[in-house]
Structure 1
Amino acid sequence: MLLMIPGPVQLHERIIRAMARQMIGHRTADFSAIMEFCVEKLREIFGTKGDICLISGSGTAGMEAAIASFSRVKKIATLENGKFGERLGDIAERYTQVERVKVPWGESFELDAVKEALDNGCEAVAFVHNETSTGILNPAKEIAKLAKEYDALVIMDAITSAGGDYVKMDEWGVDVAIVGSQKCLGAPPGLAAVAVSEKAWDYYNERCPYYLDLAAYRKKLKDMQTPYTPAVPLFFALAEALKIIDEEGLENRIQRHRILSAAVRKWAVEAGLELFPNLNKYSSYSNTVTAIKMPEGVSDSELRGTLKKEYGILVSGGQGELKGKIFRIGTMGNVGKFETVSTLAALEDVLMRKNAIKPALQYAQILLRDLQ
């Protein structure tokens, strides 16, 4: 099965082999060396000199750790224009007062709405950088800049952008950011990294969940250890994935993600399909997943079901209220030209049988021509 979904992603053979290593003790110098390498490379990917807390858990564990550990605020604004923005709001409501800045899924935030929340006494802002449920890239730099005018804490879900698009925590003024291992980093699911600025510790709440208390992870970071038994094989995999990123070069990797997603968008538009999110002057299309409206007269099962059954290719459908209304093509992690062209060619075949599109693969191939 070829996974063309927004995570988990296809694994490089080197990463698969890395997980087959014999176990090592997690309180040994061998593990500390792996941990130190991961921390150093993740700092580069996050664009920060801050602490890197590595949690054996999903991206959602990282989200909760970020919100809960720094919940000593009277009120937090959560910006919600998709499934994962809403998840931030759901998590935050367990720990503090929340002002949920909502727009319909796939719509863009206006900065005036964020400013209003800050004027209403919000001391922190939490948002999703790359909202995979709708294929929109939210304006992280602009949101963080506005929040800093109020000296507010900035928490950013970078789970599906870090490693595949620009994330510049220190430059933008982001205090806390999260990434999941199974997205643009190209590793298996099961690890979350939370990057933390020095300022964020001013908001630390010691009454956060025991396992997700980032102060415990920070304390053990001095010895390049984790406070609790880590998922050691996943650290083997993450280290190998980060070596692959280092070999490719982070800038080259980001440009590969951007070229792949641009090719998918070009194919969709030339085929007569409609991209889903509605953009404003601040937002842009995601560079790691493309959301496309389902063509009229085609059902989700006809499109995704046929693609899976006949070609062995898995793309994602819509979530929540968008179920059956959109489909989503992931171009993140270890995906390249071969996988992208194969997916678009297969989709073109399926949809042309339904007379739902016109041939457009050539337009995508032009953009992909020079991508190695």
Structure 2
Amino acid sequence: MKFDELLMIPGPVQVHSRILNAMAKPLIGHRTPEFSDIMKNCTLGLKELFGTDGDVYLISGSGTAGMEAAISSFSKVSRITCIDNGKFGDRLCRIASRYTEVDALRFEWGESIDLEKVKESLENGSEAVAFVHNETSTGILNPAREIAKIAKKHSALVIMDGITSVGGDEVKMDEWGIDVAIVGSQKCLGIPPGLAAVAVNERAWEFYNEKAPFYLDLMAYKKKLKDWQTPYTPAVPLFVALNEAIEMIKEEGLENRIQRHRKFSRAVREWAVNAGLELFPRLNEYSSYSNTVTAIKMPEGITDKELRGTLKQEYSITISGGQEHLKGKIFRIGTMGNIGKREVVATLMAVEDILTRKGCAVPAINHALEVLK
């Protein structure tokens, strides 16, 4: 018997039936008051999630489109410091290198950021810094507040990839001193892939580059925002989905939502450690474990195919493996979006079953259940 698939990866995530039903409604025109109302509600709701009074621009494209829009639109700098301690930090470096000189601060994937190196880079002339807040490739939460504090001492622009933290963890752009931040729709917001949002404060426009790519030039989005419109044809069903997701977040309460994400990730970590497994990230005093995905070292005696392949075949549950050079070395369990205790427990019990059969773990589900009470 084939069961419905359960996605427990760091995006795309499970989509709630309320959101699916909203998307199933008849299509509306995008140059209509009805769409503008949806656009306004989405924009104002996202401002709260970003923790900003600045503008939020919605782009029909993936999170990477948001990354490139942010980097390219504000690339009038002689050099930018890009921090890479995972796949998406590396992606920021690659994007930025197309627009200006990059000082790439590269750390072993999963290692914590050395803030002294950030300070040195800015002292040596970088005018901006870009980093990933929540690095899902390694399960580490980077110190956004501390990075921004260093940057502000040098009047540097601060660009933050919040693609997998906004809507699921604490993000306070204005309070922390973040000038530009990005989120993707298929992560903590809990809707299908295809939308990116870029939050921008007024100071960022001092760094505006009018040679940004035509479609990703945020000035075009800024000009249309006053009418609660987008400059180009938007992915209307995804705006409808986001509108419903924003309503669901309001009903749950943002703080409650953040605490739910934190509880689920803590339950996964407690289970992993007590099962005899090792968490992958190497923390320092400034970093912490991700609150939306947990990266765990693959134990000896089982392969990635045996674990994730069996999990999908026998339980119809999908979790993530490692990326790039981490393939086969780690597995990752996402706990983001509109999921509940049932999904977390089912996933952990299924993974535990496979690992214990192979002699690679000991039963530890009770430790997770204790956290989830």
- TM norm structure 2: 0.99
1:312 is aligned to 316
Shift in Å at residue 349 of structure 1? 0.5
Distance 2:7 2:175 in 1: 34
Matched, 1:289 2:285: no
Is the aligned partner of 1:86 residue 2:90? Answer: yes
Contact 2:319 2:332 in 1 (8 A): yes
1:340 alignment counterpart: 344
Partner amino acid, structure 2, of 1:341: V
User: Residue 176 of structure 1 corresponds to which residue in structure 2?
Assistant: 180
Question: Superposed, which structure 2 residues align to 1:1-372 within 5 Å?
Answer: 1-369=5-373
Structure 1 residues not aligned, in runs of 5+: none
- Distance in 1 (alpha carbons) for counterparts of 2:23 and 2:329: 38
Q: Classify the secondary structure of the residue corresponding to 2:333.
A: strand
Query: Which digits, 9 at most, give the CA deviation of each residue in 1:166-217, with x for residues without a partner?
Result: 0000000000000000000001100000000100000000000000000000
Structure-1 separation of matches of 2:55 and 2:223:
10
Runs of 4+ in 1 over 6 A off after TM superposition: none
Question: What SS does the corresponding residue of 1:52 show, helix, strand or coil?
Answer: strand
SS at match of 2:18: helix
SS in 2 for 1:226: coil
CA RMSD of superposed structures (Å): 0.4
Tell me the SS of whatever aligns to 1:269.
helix
Question: Tell me, what secondary structure is at the counterpart of 1:62?
Answer: helix
Superposition deviation, residue 318 in structure 1? 0.1
Instruction: State how far apart, in whole Å, the 2-side matches of 1:30 and 1:242 are.
Output: 16
Alpha-carbon offset, residue 335 of structure 1: 1.3
* Offset at residue 25 of structure 1 (A): 1.1
AA paired with 2:76? R
CA distance in 1, matches of 2:239, 2:212: 25
Matched residues in 1 for 2:359 and 2:137: separation?
A: 27
* TM-superposed deviation, 1:127: 0.1
What is the alpha-carbon distance in structure 1 between the residues aligned to residue 245 and residue 7 of structure 2?
17
**Distance of 1:105 and 1:242 partners within structure 2:** 33
In 2: Cα distance, 1:102 partner to 1:64 partner:
20
Alignment: residue pair count = 369
Q: Distance in 2 between matches of 1:53 and 1:216?
A: 10
Find the aligned partners of 2:238 and 2:339 in 1 and give their Cα distance.
20
Q: How far does residue 120 in structure 1 lie from its aligned partner after superposition?
A: 1.2
1:119 deviation in Å?
1.0
Aligned counterparts of 1:242 and 1:189: Cα–Cα separation in 2: 16
Say whether the 8 Å CA contact 2:278–2:296 is kept in structure 1: yes
Deviations 1:252-282, CA, capped at 9 Å, x for gaps: 0000000000000000000000000000000
Sequence identity, in percent?
A: 71
User: Residue 116 of structure 1: SS of its match in structure 2?
Assistant: helix
Q: Give distance in 1, aligned partners of 2:272 and 2:174.
A: 36
Report the CA distance between 1:74 and its aligned residue: 0.3
Distance in 2 between the 1:27 and 1:346 partners? 48
Write the deviation string for residues 86-129 of structure 1: whole angstroms up to 9, x where unpaired.
Answer: 00000000000000001000000111000011011000000000
